[in-house]
Amino acid sequence: MNYQKDVSEFMILGEQKIASDLNLKNEQSKLYMNLIEEEFEETAKAFNEDDLVEVADGLADMVWVIMGMCNSVGIDFDNIWEEVRDSNMSKFVDGKSIKNEAGKIMKPETYFKPNIKKALGI
């Protein structure tokens, strides 16, 4: 499944521009940033109300508008995802993690920061 492609099809049908170059400065990116904020707030409200159905809907909606933002600003999300995934997986040493008191997986010496510039091709 390619979420970004699905959203591209929607945007094309909706006569929204798919950016061909990296550019944060456009009206459509402002729209999608507002939609991301709106969907996050709705999801947080559903979570606080212990509404699993609305949380699931909100999570899917957030992914949708995040992919719309990627399309609006020219980001190939798969490249970013792979770079961040590799970085996150570097937190495991011999298949094991180190966690803090809250359960967050910590960064051991094997950790390396994702090279987002490389993933963006800049």
Answer whether 88's CB lies under 8 Å from 110's CB: no
- Residue 70, strand partner residues: none
Q: Per-block average pLDDT, block size 10, for the chain (122 residues)?
A: 95 96 93 98 98 98 98 97 97 93 94 96 92
**Cα–Cα distances in angstroms (integers) from residue 86 to residues 34, 55, 90, 112, 115, in the given order:** 30, 28, 6, 9, 10
CA 50 to each of CA 45, 53, 54, 62, 84: distance values in angstroms, whole numbers, following the listed order: 9, 9, 9, 18, 30
State the pLDDT at residue 1: 80
**Pair of tokens at residue 104:** 């967050």
Which domains does the chain show, CATH number per domain? 1-75 (1.10.3420.10), 76-122 (no CATH)
Decide: pTM greater than 0.85.
Answer: yes
- What's residue 107's pLDDT? 95
